[in-house]
Amino acid sequence: MEAKGKIQFVLDNKVDELSLLSAKVETMADLWDFSDSQTMNLNLVLEEAISNILFYAFDDDSEQKIYLILEYDDETLSVEIMDSGKPFDPTRQGPPDITLPAEERSIGGLGIFLINKLMDHVEYCRKENMNMLTLKKRIK
Amino acid sequence: MEAKGKIQFVLDNKVDELSLLSAKVETMADLWDFSDSQTMNLNLVLEEAISNILFYAFDDDSEQKIYLILEYDDETLSVEIMDSGKPFDPTRQGPPDITLPAEERSIGGLGIFLINKLMDHVEYCRKENMNMLTLKKRIK
Amino acid sequence: MNISFETKSNFTVIHLTGRIDVTNSNDLETELIRLFEDDRYNLLINCAELNYISSSGLRVFLLAQKKVMAAQGDLIICSLQPMIREIFDISGLSTIFKICKSEEEALQKI
Amino acid sequence: MNISFETKSNFTVIHLTGRIDVTNSNDLETELIRLFEDDRYNLLINCAELNYISSSGLRVFLLAQKKVMAAQGDLIICSLQPMIREIFDISGLSTIFKICKSEEEALQKI
Ligand SMILES: Nc1ncnc2c1ncn2[C@@H]1O[C@H](COP(=O)(O)OP(=O)(O)O)[C@@H](O)[C@H]1O
Ligand SMILES: Nc1ncnc2c1ncn2[C@@H]1O[C@H](COP(=O)(O)OP(=O)(O)O)[C@@H](O)[C@H]1O
């Protein structure tokens, strides 16, 4: 049996939503027969992208919605994340220097780097006052 | 968090596929926060409809594909089942007489009846040499 | 599905666990027919652990009821989960079978 | 995530179980800082049961490494699952940490 499809999530801008989401994503990954490693990487990428929105996109602590679409079709996983926070283009973020010795390495700044490394394709656009991040990965 | 979406399955015309499918359907129902009873009813309806295709739609034992789409959106569950078997319109099947005493009741013929009872809307059409059955149910 | 048997008074208590669907309803039918061949027509089917049934399972229950009635035995179904009970109700089977809330209630009625 | 401690030779062995993500990496940081306040700078982190880590977890590991180095202690990570090891590799952390295949191997090296 072969399964493909598309799921839309609407999340509140609260950190707790990430735990709920990771369980739902495992469910989807199971349906699509992803390996444990593929599932972890998907959850990791989603956590990095969405936690950045939670931490940096909004200046006040107003209630906001984050829109997420997961789609698996033709052996390609597509992720779309939309938020109405301040404009931010992660594809313009320079990579951290991961060759530095421990003493000199910054302890942050790995999130966007990992997204880029784990996905095949990362695209950003600003559309109707929304940040729209599209990620793609060939699976299998 | 709110989840909605659409999943397409392609099944072979083998009874074993029903066991695989029921696990995948439970996964989806979990994602959509269906109750145990809603989940069982969905699996029951799918089993009835698909086993009828397996048993009656094809005269030879050739390999065939059955297409299934599950969609949950706006509190409505939609199911679409397509097969290339002989034309058969289940909406024209009269209901069994469920008031008969045990001695006189036929032991079969409950499948289509249960589909009709458990879903809000059942529609059939024949399209491009395919049987297309559409089922809808308001959930929540 | 798992099927286990137990004898209480002159009844065979049958515990059904899991799912009865089109892939395994034949196994249940085979087990019941084995009981009938043994002349055991007093059956109490405990469904506390049964969490799925489709028309193929209902078909076997109905078949058993017919055989039991023909042999003047007794068939009682107990401990149906509400969602399974709903399927029995919809199918008009709740009036055909003797249905009890619990195994205790069923054993008292015998 | 579950964190448990054990003392072996002059090392504190830390067993991490489950997930380290942005919702709980602070808890791990708190526990490690507690060890440092106790002057325990020889740490062996056993990750056999760790099945998820994100950058927030890596951040805590890196912070621990810095503190351990400053205090001339020793930090060893062992038993990484392959998928977690991959994240360490990608992040350039495999060259920063002492990583051992198993707890036995790590304890021999001490
Ligand atoms: N949605 C966003 N809006 C504004 N700034 C952002 C956003 N996402 C990331 N940033 C900035 O990019 C930096 C790097 O992000 P990241 O690679 O995820 O690492 P970290 O979150 O650990 O700093 C952040 O520190 C933040 O300054
Ligand atoms: N896809 C199909 N093609 C042809 N005939 C069918 C199909 N589905 C059902 N039927 C006919 O309709 C009858 C009633 O089906 P159903 O209500 O599911 O009960 P049962 O399968 O127990 O007979 C079947 O016995 C069969 O003759």
Min Cα–Cα distance to chain B from A76, Å: 15
> For residue A99, what is the enclosing H or E element?
none
Ligand at minimal distance from the CA of B50 is: 2
* CATH number assigned to the domain comprising residue B134: 3.30.565.10
pLDDT one-digit tens code per residue, B54-72? 999 999 889 999 999 999 9
pLDDT one-digit tens code per residue, A32-64? 999 999 999 999 999 999 999 999 999 988 999
Q: Hey, is the C-beta of A74 within 8 angstroms of any chain B C-beta? A: no
Residues C36-61, mean pLDDT to the nearest whole number: 97
Structure tokens at C96: 């055909």
Quote the pLDDT of residue A1: 86
Check: pTM over 0.80? Answer yes or no: yes
| D55 C-beta closer than 6 A to ligand 1 | yes
| A56 C-beta closer than 6 A to ligand 1 | yes
pLDDT score of B134 more than 90: yes
Quote the pLDDT of residue B74: 84
Q: How many domains does chain D have?
A: 1
Considering chain A, what is the average pLDDT of its residues? 95
> Lowest-confidence range among A7-11, B45-49, B95-99?
B95-99
Q: Hey, is the C-beta of A14 within 8 angstroms of any chain B C-beta? A: no
- B36-52 helix and C55-70 helix, angle to the nearest 10 degrees: 80
Structure tokens at B107: 């032991």
* CATH number assigned to the domain comprising residue D10: 3.30.750.24
| CA–CA distance, C46 with C56 (Å, rounded to integer) | 18
Sheet holding B121-127, edge to edge: A121-127, A130-138, A76-83, A65-73, A2-12, B2-12, B65-73, B76-83, B130-138, B121-127
| Amino acid letter for position D66 | K
For A117, other C-beta atoms within 10 Å of its C-beta total 18
- B16-31 helix and B36-52 helix, angle to the nearest 10 degrees: 150
pLDDT one-digit tens code per residue, B18-40? 999 999 999 999 889 999 999 99
Min Cα–Cα distance to chain A from D34, Å: 19
Containing structural domain, residue B109? 4-138
Containing structural domain, residue D43? 2-109
Q: Hey, is the C-beta of D24 within 8 angstroms of any chain A C-beta? A: no
Checking phi first, is residue B137 left (phi over 0); if not, alpha (psi -120 to 50) or beta? Answer: beta
At residue C110 the predicted structure's pLDDT band, cuts being 50, 70 and 90, is: confident
Q: Which of C1, C19, C24, C55 to mutate to test the interface with B (most CBs of B within 10 A)?
A: C55
Task: Give the closest of B47, B99, B108 to C59, CB-based.
Answer: B108
pLDDT one-digit tens code per residue, D7-41? 998 999 999 999 999 999 999 999 999 999 999 99
Q: How many domains does chain B have?
A: 1
Q: Which of A48, C39, C106 is nearest to D57 (CA)?
A: A48
**Touch between chain D and chain A (3+ CB pairs, < 8 Å)?**
yes
Count how many residues are written for chain A.
Answer: 140
Are the CB atoms for A97 and A62 separated by under 8 Å? no
| CA–CA distance, A129 with A132 (Å, rounded to integer) | 9
Are the CB atoms for C41 and C70 separated by under 8 Å? no
Question: Within its chain, how far is the Cα of B86 from the centroid?
Answer: 17
For chain C, report the end-to-end CA distance as a whole number of angstroms: 27
